Amino acid sequence: MEEFKSMNTKIKKILSIGAIALSVGIMLTACSGKKQGGSGNSSSNAKHSVALITDVSGINDHSFNQSAWTGFKAYGKQHDLNQGRNGYQYFQSSSAADFQPNLDEAAKAGYQTIFGVGYSLKDAVSAAAKKYPKKNFAIIDDKIDGQKNVVSANFKSEQAAYLAGVVATKETKTNTVGFIGGTHGDIIDLFDAGFTKGVKDESKKLHKKVTILNQYVGNFTSADKAKSIAQSMYTKKADIIFHAAGGAGDGLFQEAKSINQTRPANKKVWVIGVDVDQSNLGNYSAKGGQKSNFVLTSVITGVNVATQDIANRAYKGKFPGGEHLVYGLRGNGVSIKHGQITPAAWKDAQTARDQILSNRIKIPTHPNK
């Protein structure tokens, strides 16, 4: 009996120690979180490792961060690298105060090529590049001059926006289309100028007189204001609206859905999305209950193309530090989705694409004042 008690006590101690060990393991795993999950990557891959620092929109923003991460995953698959240390990873920023600490954490964790997504990270990336001169840095959607370990990546968004203007002009039944911008600046000007030029050129070609309604939200976050602008434009007979307004653009989708739910599916108003394929935001039930979708197409910014390209150059030992890279229609750095574009409009868009690539169409980068 005493032997049994003694054995029972030993078993309890072993189980207790095991439980503590398991608890500690769980705590350590929880602390490592998404940023530094176990990877299985060899330490020899450290020189090929890449890290993504998001802006405040987060990794699942249906925009630049998500697209950049898609490029990272493609890069990892291409080179048999896993998510985690010595592979590829993202560091999510909840506010601007997280930018610098996340850049520090990525550098100290051994990631060799570190990307900042969006113009809001420009200053933080510049400072980190000075602090860690042996690391490679990339800024997406802005430009950093005079730093040999920083590459800047931008996009010829005016080219894809031009194609959207061609499509909108071909598809409009009311001969009125709209553009909603976030704030004026070099980046949004590309979308505005390209779309406007596309509408004007296609209108001339088709002998149509198409009115363009153009208004800015003043920021990239006020969805309520964008909704109000969209309501006004649709009231003024616009049947297709293109936005380059970031998160504020959600208001456009809300308004289009509100209008379309009261109409038969064949009487819908349309939205042209931006940056990524936004067709999932256009699902709705039309009057009578028919399932439908009001996203005509989306103007795609190939952030995934840029991140994979830059990561691959670094992998080959040819990181383009100090360079300003610009991605356009060639190589799908920018593009439009086929979406619900009719065959005739798609044909016109592809003709225009060929003409842009052969320099037969010149597109301004700033709208006329």
Give the model confidence (pLDDT) of 282-340 as tens digits: 999 999 999 999 999 999 999 999 999 999 999 999 999 999 999 999 999 999 999 99
The predicted model gives 89-102 an average pLDDT of 97
Q: Are 175 and 210 in contact (CB under 8 A)?
A: yes
Q: What angle do CA 128, 133, 135 make, to 5 degrees?
A: 80
Q: Are 262 and 292 in contact (CB under 8 A)?
A: no
The pLDDT confidence band at residue 57, using thresholds 50, 70 and 90, is confident
CATH of domain 157-301+329-357: 3.40.50.2300
What are the start and end residues of each CATH 3.40.50.2300 domain in the chain?
43-155, 157-301+329-357
Predicted confidence at residue 82, as pLDDT, reads: 95
Q: What is the pLDDT of residue 44?
A: 76
In the predicted structure, residue 357 carries a pLDDT above the cut 90 = yes
Contact 89, 52 (CB under 8 A): yes
Backbone φ, ψ for residue 116 (5° rounding): -110, 125
Cβ burial, residue 110 (10 Å; 0-12/13-18/19+) = middle
The model's pTM is 0.85
The CATH superfamily holding the domain 43-155 is: Response regulator (3.40.50.2300)
Q: Give me the chain's average pLDDT, please.
A: 90
Residue-level pLDDT at 31 = 29
Report the amino acid identity of residue 87: G
The span from the CA of 79 to the CA of 72, in Å, is 11
